[in-house]
Chains A and B, each alone.
Chain A
Amino acid sequence: MPQIPLAAYLGLSSALFVIGAVGFLLRRNPITMLMAIELMWNAGNLAFAAFARNFADMSGQIFVFIVITVAAAEAAIALAIVVMVFRRRADVDVDDISVLRG
């Protein structure tokens, strides 16, 4: 089986990350933004896993598990906030939720 070069993984990872970042910056629906963030998490995960395989070092893979755990927790909290906001305002647009500005 031909080896997929490291550069290909990193290229895919970069592409995923940029898509996620741009999505986060351009979209105003919090659900979509959350999905964009998940995309960036997973871009990072892919890079970790690729490096781990390349250098035959398991610590990168272990790190991926930790990231997945943290991402799940983050998603739970963020979704809870979104649900609470939605209950109060019926419409969810992050630009409208700027009242906590100091």
Chain B
Amino acid sequence: MAPFIASLVPFILFAPLVGAATIALFGPYVHRRASAAVGSASVLLSFVIAAAFAIVVWHLPAAEQAAFTHSRFLGYWVHLPPDFVISFRLLVDPLSLLWILVITGVGFLIHLYSVGYMAADKNYRTFFAYMNIFVFAMLLLVMADNFLWLLVGWGGVGFASYILIGFYYDRNTAVLAARKALIMNVIGDVGIMVAIFLMYAHVGSLAYQTVFGQVDAIGTTALTWIGIWLFVGAVAKSAQLPLQTWLPDAMEGPTPVSALIHAATMVTAGVYLVARAHPIYDRAPVAAEIVAVVGGLTALFAATIGTVQYDIKRVLAYSTMSQIGYMIMAVGIGAYAAGAFHFLTHAFFKALLFMAAGVVIHNLAGEQDIRKMGGLAKRMPFAYWTFLVGTLALAGIAPFAGFFSKDAILDQALTLHHPWLYGAGTAAAFLTAFYMFRLLFLTFFTGAYRGEGEPHHDTPWTMSVPVALLAALSVAGGWIVLPGHDALSPALRASFADSLVIQDLSGFNWQVSIGTLILALAGIVLAYALYEVPSGAREWVRSQFGVMRAVLTNAYYFDAIYHVAFEVPTYALAGLLARVFDRDVIGALPRAFTALATWLGDVADRWETGYLRRYGLSIVVGVALLLVFYVVLTRGALWGAP
């Protein structure tokens, strides 16, 4: 390992933080573009270091590479040996390196895109500072070397997500969405906290190495519970059932935020967590089964909702939820490399889709309703072609990126004997192709433009260059795993060497691939028939499936159920406490103290008459009483008299 590049590892983590601090301290005194430059450059610096690091690792001899892991000690958080030592170490192994590269690489492109997209915003500088804080927290999450630092990063990205969803803070819906996301994510944080308590009780340490080294000494029951509680965190962060309702609402944030946080990086933290904790899940089959089933259900569940939404970003949000369902399913069945692979390609094409959609929204002055779009292919050819690439990649059409990664997951599901999950994933693949092409047709075709104002055309290079780059990656990103040639799982071998499931994606199941490809094409044809061929088919389908449509439009009424089950009782209880407990119990105590002080003041006040003779009398009486006390009661004993 080249020592020079290893010495730069802390810069990967701290460059974005320094960038955020610089913007916060000096942003107001310089040109607003300078803040954007600092924000983007600091993330680019992280990416360059991480990429150099990755290249060095890539060129190591195979045996060294297969055992590669770099841990950098930076200090102690808690140092109470021998029982309680928590160090601060940065961990760079293939798994975290993959995440670091995506976070900083895609993160930089989205920063660059924001330079143009947010140009007119009044809080331009703040935006870049917030985005840098997010990148820092996310890097901390994946570079942590023990579960406590992971939780710090975990909470940090939740906070960054909160401030960025609520970035348009003068919009009530944005503030409510931010609050919802924070509350749901905190449920997950508590889950991880419980897992940490359990780990500490059973192992006495929180470092990955120690915990994973002693998994065989922990009973299966305890491992299962640790796995389940960790997964509670993953469910909340990755918007899986049943904590998924915050993600569609999170689309209230600016589009670059949706692309970076709510598509490419933060929401995949759950996938990272399960993959990172694979020694636990490998030995806790029940917990792993729960992970896989939740992932598969979410993949299907979110895909069905995606078919009826009309907000361009909400469709993409449900598709994100569905694709992360795939990844969670993959890591649940033990196909960690396949899950990581899908994370990689998904980061490319989903960021691309959001940013291409952002170009459309930007040029339509904030319009997001696809019923008011249509016919935009001719007016915005750049947005159309890039969106098409992203759609093909997401729908899993060969040879675009999503084809390889999605099929890798479905293939592994069959290989590892999970036919039901394979079925759910395949059905979701069909629905994905359908709803994405529905979105594409309604936005860019289906007759003429239906909006009110004429779209304007201003797509600065800062927006078009990142979109074009991501389009290229969405085409080629899947080619690192080709039939018979698998470059990804050997590279990840060092992270999964101890996994009980063999990580190999080079085997290519043609039946699976051709089957899903045919289903995806069928989805496209169905979307074409319903939205492009002028016939009564659309109305007929609507009339036949009215109830189902209502259920899907309301996302299975999860929000309504949660409202009745949690919000209403909480508000009722809070109202009761505010009216009764707060006033008559909490409030009674300070009121009693003030009453006492007032009474004492009144008593003392009566003595202060202002009449000199009264004071004199007080002195005389006081002296007389003292005399009586000393002379009569103590008989002069205090003077030492005999």
A residues lining the B interface (CB < 8 Å): 21, 24-26, 28, 33, 94-95, 97-102
Q: Which of B605, B611, B613 contacts A102 (CB 8 A)?
A: B605
List the A residue with the shortest CB-CB distance to B605: A102
Structural contact, B620 and A94, CB atoms closer than 8 A: no
> Closest CB of chain B to A97's CB: distance in Å?
8
B610 within 8 A of A: yes
25 contacts between A and B (CB under 8 A): A21-B616, A21-B620, A24-B613, A24-B616, A25-B613, A25-B616, A25-B617, A28-B613, A33-B612, A94-B611, A94-B612, A94-B613, A95-B611, A95-B612, A95-B613, A97-B610, A97-B612, A98-B609, A98-B610, A98-B611, A99-B610, A100-B610, A101-B608, A101-B610, A102-B605
Find chain A residues with CB under 8 A from B610 CB: 97-101
Interface residues of B in 498-525 (CB under 8 A from A): none
A98–B613 CA distance with the chains assembled, in angstroms: 11
State the CA gap A74–B616 with chains docked (Å): 16
Query: Majority SS of interface residues in chain B?
Result: helix
A34–B611 alpha-carbon span in the complex (Å): 15
A102 to B609 alpha-carbon distance, docked (Å): 8
Give the chain B neighbours of A100 by CB distance below 8 A: 610
Contacts of B605 in A (CB 8 A): 102
* Number of B residues, CB within 8 Å of A: 10
Q: B612 contacts A101, CB within 8 Å? A: no
B548 to chain A, nearest CB (A): 79
Which B residues are CB-close (under 8 A) to A101?
A: 608-610
Residues of B within 8 A of A (CB): 605, 608-613, 616-617, 620
CA distance A95 to B620 in the complex (A): 19
Q: Which residue of B lies closest to A33 (CB)?
A: B612
List the B side residues contacting A25 at CB < 8 Å: 613, 616-617, 620
Q: Distance (Å) between the CB of A94 and the closest chain B CB?
A: 5
Q: A24-B613, A97-B612 are in contact. List 9 more A-B contacts (CB 8 A).
A: A21-B616, A25-B616, A28-B613, A95-B612, A97-B610, A98-B609, A98-B611, A101-B610, A102-B605
- B617 cross-chain contacts in A, Cβ below 8 A: 25
Distance in Å: Cβ of B598 to nearest Cβ of chain A: 15
Tell me, in angstroms, the Cα distance from A28 to B614 when the chains sit together.
12
Which residues of A are found within 8 Å of B616, using beta-carbon distances? 21, 24-25
Are the CB atoms of B612 and A102 closer together than 8 Å?
Answer: no
Min Cβ gap A41→B in Å is 14
Complex formed: what's the CA distance from A28 to B616 in Å?
12
The CA of A95 and the CA of B216, in the complex, are separated in Å by: 93
Q: Report how far A57 CA is from B605 CA in the complex, Å.
A: 46
CA A98 – CA B610 in complex, angstroms? 4
In the complex, chain A residues whose CB is within 8 Å of the CB of B611: 94-95, 98
Give the nearest-CB partner of A21 in chain B. B620
Alpha-carbon distance A28/B613, docked complex (angstroms) = 8
Say how far A59's CB is from chain B's closest CB, in angstroms: 17
With A25-B613, A94-B613: A102-B620 Cβ-Cβ less than 8 Å: no
Cα distance, A57 to B485, chains bound together (Å): 116
* B610 nearest CB neighbor, chain A only: A98
B479 → chain A closest CB, angstroms? 88
Return chain B residues, CB-CB under 8 Å to A28. Answer: 613
Residue of chain B at shortest CB distance from A26:
B613
- Please measure, in the bound complex, the distance between the C-alpha atom of A19 and the C-alpha atom of B611, giving whole angstroms: 20
In chain B, what residue has the closest Cβ to A101?
B610
Bound Cα distance A100, B617 (Å): 19
Give Cα distance in the complex from A25 to B621, angstroms: 12
Q: How far is the CB of B430 from chain A (nearest CB, A)?
A: 86
Docked complex Cα distance between A25 and B609 (Å): 15
Chain B residues with CB under 8 A of A33:
612
B608 contacts which chain A residues (CB < 8 A)? 101-102
Query: Which residue of B605, B608, B611, B617 has the most chain A CB atoms within 10 A of its CB atom?
Result: B611
For the complex of A and B, the 8 pairs showing the least CB-CB separation, nearest first, are A98-B610, A101-B610, A94-B612, A24-B616, A25-B613, A102-B608, A25-B616, A98-B611
Q: How far is the CA of A36 from the CA of B610 in the complex (A)?
A: 20
Q: Smallest Cβ distance from B92 to chain A, in angstroms?
A: 71
Bound Cα distance from A12 to B616, whole angstroms? 22
CB distance from B620 to the nearest CB of A (A): 6
Specify which chain B residues have a CB less than 8 angstroms from the CB of A95 in the assembled complex. 611-613
Interface centre among B608, B610, B617 (most CB of A within 10 A): B610
Nearest CB on B from A39, distance (A): 13
Q: How far is the CB of B609 from chain A (nearest CB, A)?
A: 6
